[in-house]
A and B are shown apart, each in its own frame.
Chain A
Amino acid sequence: MPVQGIEGGHLKLLTKRDLRKIHEATLDILERYGVTVHEETALRILDDAGATVDYKDEVAKIPPYLVEESMKKAPSTVALCGRSSDYDVILEGKKVYTAGGADAIYVIDLETRERRPALLRDLRDFTRLQDALNNIHVVMGIVDPKDAPPLGVDRLRCYELAKNTEKHIIRDAQGMEGTRDQIKMAAAIVGGEEELRKRSIISFVDCTTSPLKHGKTNTEVLIEASKQEIPVIIECDAMAGGTTPVTLAGTLVVQNAEVLSGVLMSQLVNSKTPVIYGNMSSIMDMRTANIALGAPELGLIQVITAQLAQYYGIPFMGCGGMTDSKLLDIQASFEKTLTLMQAALAGTNLIHEMAGMLDSLFTVSYEQVVIDNEIMGGIYRALKGVKVTDETLAEDVIGEVGPLGSHFLAKSHTRRFLKQEHWMPEILSRERRETWEKKGSKEMREVARETAKEILETHWPEPLEKDALEIMNEIVKAAEQQKKYL
C-alpha cells in the first residue's frame, strides 16, 4: 500500500483572478520575449511545434496556445514509486509528502561534531538514516562526496542511493548520457525498462536558469527522461531581486515562464511523461548577495506556486525546512518550522530539502535529519485538523464519566481515538524537569544524536539483487573512464 498522504491546502493567498493575471503575464512574456534554450534538439522541437526560433541567439518565442494545450494535457497525478510499494508516493491534489536534502558539500561529523567535507560513506549513512525515518518519503542525493571521482559521480550517487534506500530516489544527471545510464541502472533493479515505465523508482530534476534560460545539460536530462517516460521535475531556483524581479509577483511570472516552457518541451517529446512543477525560489539577501533559504518570502512563494500548480492541475515539488544558520540552533529551528509550515499549509505535494540541511544547503547534519523528521511529524498533525462527528464529540463517554467521575483514561473511547487524535513525538522532551535531569539533562540535539546512531547501527534496507548490482557497477565503472566531463 502506498504511503498515506495528508491533505494540505488550507492556506491560500491569491484569488483565482490573481492567479489568472500571473498566468496571462507568463504567456505574454513567453510570446513577446521567449526563453533561451541552449540545446538544439529542444529548439527544433519547439520550432516544429510552432514557436518562433532564433537559432543564433537560441531563443524560442512561444505562442500562448502551445503552452495552454500542454498544461491541459500534462498528467495531474504522478506516482513516485519505491523499490517496495509500501514506499510509493502518489503526488496529486493537495496531498503533502516530503523529500530529503540534496547536494550538501560539508557534513557535521556525528562523532567529532566538527564540520568536514562530505564523503561517500556519508552519502550511504545519510541515505540509510532517511530510509528509516517515517516523515521522509522520497530520498535525494543528500551530499556531493569529496572522495568520489568527478566523472560519472551522478551514476555513482545513483548506485549508492539505490543500495541504501527502498524509497523513491530523485536524481540529477550529467546530461543525456548520465540520464540514460541511470535509467538503465533503475531498470536493472525493477526488471527492465518496460517495468520501470510502469513503476518508476527514479525521477529526474531539470533545473532552469533564471532569468528565462534552459541550460544545455539540464535540457538534455529533460528530453532524455521525457523520451523514456520517466517522471521529470522542472525546477526554477529564482532569486528575487537578483535573477528575477524584486517583487514576488514578478518573480512568480519569470518562474512560471521557465517551468511552463519546460513542461511544454517535455510534453512535445512525449505527452505521456509525468511532469512536476518544481521550485526552490526565494529572495536575494541584499546585504550579502546570498539566497535566503529560511526566509518567509520563500514560504510565500511556496504558497502561491502551490496555488498555481493546483490551478494548472499538475503536481508541485516545492521546498521548506531549510535554514541559513550554520548551527543546529534557534535560528535553524525558527526558519525550518516557519517555511515547512508554510509549504505544508499550501498543499505542496512534495516538500524537498526538508531533512538535515543547514548553512544555506552547504552543510548537512545527522542530528538535524532526525530533528526535521520530528518537526514534520508535528506539522502533519497540524495539517490533519480536527474531525467533528458524533463519535469525536464523545457525548456517550462524557456521560459515562460524568461530573462524579475522575478521568477518561480507562475508557475504550480514549484508547480507540488516541493515535489519530494525539501526535506522539519521538524525541521531544515532555517529562518533568526532575525526570529529564535524571536522564542526563539532554538537549534535543543530544537525543537526536543518540537516535541517529542507533538507526545507523541497526537499520539496513533490503539488499539489491546480485545481477542488478553487477549491471549498475559496470555502468558506474564505465562512466568513470569517460574522456571528458559530460
Chain B
Amino acid sequence: MSTGEAVTFWILVWPALVGAIGMVLARNAIHSALWLVLTMLSIGVFYVLQSAPFIGMAQIIVYTGAIMMLFLFVLMLVGRDASDSLIETLRGQRVAAVLLGIGFAAMVGTGVYRAMDNVTPAGLEQANAQGNVEGIARLLFTKYVFAFEVTSALLITAAVGAMVLAHKERRKGEKRGQPETMRARFYPGNYPGPKPGPGVYATSDSVATPGRLPDGTLTDRSISKILPVRELTSSESAPKGTEK
C-alpha cells in the first residue's frame, strides 16, 4: 500500500464500519438506509483504491445512486412512522442472531486474516494492463460471455416478475385518469367552470338576484337553495348609486 492509499483507507474504514453497524442498529428505516449508503460509498472508494475504478463507480452509481434511491422512494411512500413492531415471535432470536452473527463474522474475519498472511498477490498490473475498463470488457466478452449473456434472462425474469406481482390490469372505465377527467369536464353537455354567482351586477348586489348565463337567461343554480324565490321590488332592482 502506498501512503496515499493507506491514508485514504484508514480515513474511510471508520465510516464504512460505523455505517454498517448504524444500519443494523438504527430504529428509523430511512436512517438505516442512509447508514447503508455511507457504507456503500466508502466501499466504492475502496474499490477505486484497489485499482478497480470502474467497479467503484458502478458501485456508487448503481447501488448508492439507483438502488438505495429506490429504497428511499419506497420508504418515503410508506411513511416515516411505519416502524417495526418490536414484539419477538421467536423468543430470544434477537440474542441468538447477534451471537451467531458476531461469531460468524469473527470466524470468517480471523480465518481470512490468517489466510492472507502468506498470500502471493496475483498482480493488479497484469489485470489492468490495458486499462481497467478494457480488462473487465475482455473478461466479460471472452471467458464469461455465456454467463454474461444469460444474465439477460435474469433481467427479463425480474421485469416479468415485477409486472406479474405488482401490475393491476384496469378495465376500461374502472378508474378515470387525468386526461379522461379533463375530457369529460370539457365535453359538450358539461359546464367546466364555476357556476355564475348571484347578485354581482351593477344594478343589484342582492344574493337573491339570480346570475345570468352567457346568453342572458337567468339561472336558478346560482341562488342558494335556502333563499325564498321572490320578485324584486323596483327599488331593489333599480341601479344602486343612481338615485338622485
Q: Do A and B come from one complex?
A: no
Using a CB–CB cutoff of 8 Å, the interface residues on chain A facing chain B are none
Using a CB–CB cutoff of 8 Å, the interface residues on chain B facing chain A are none
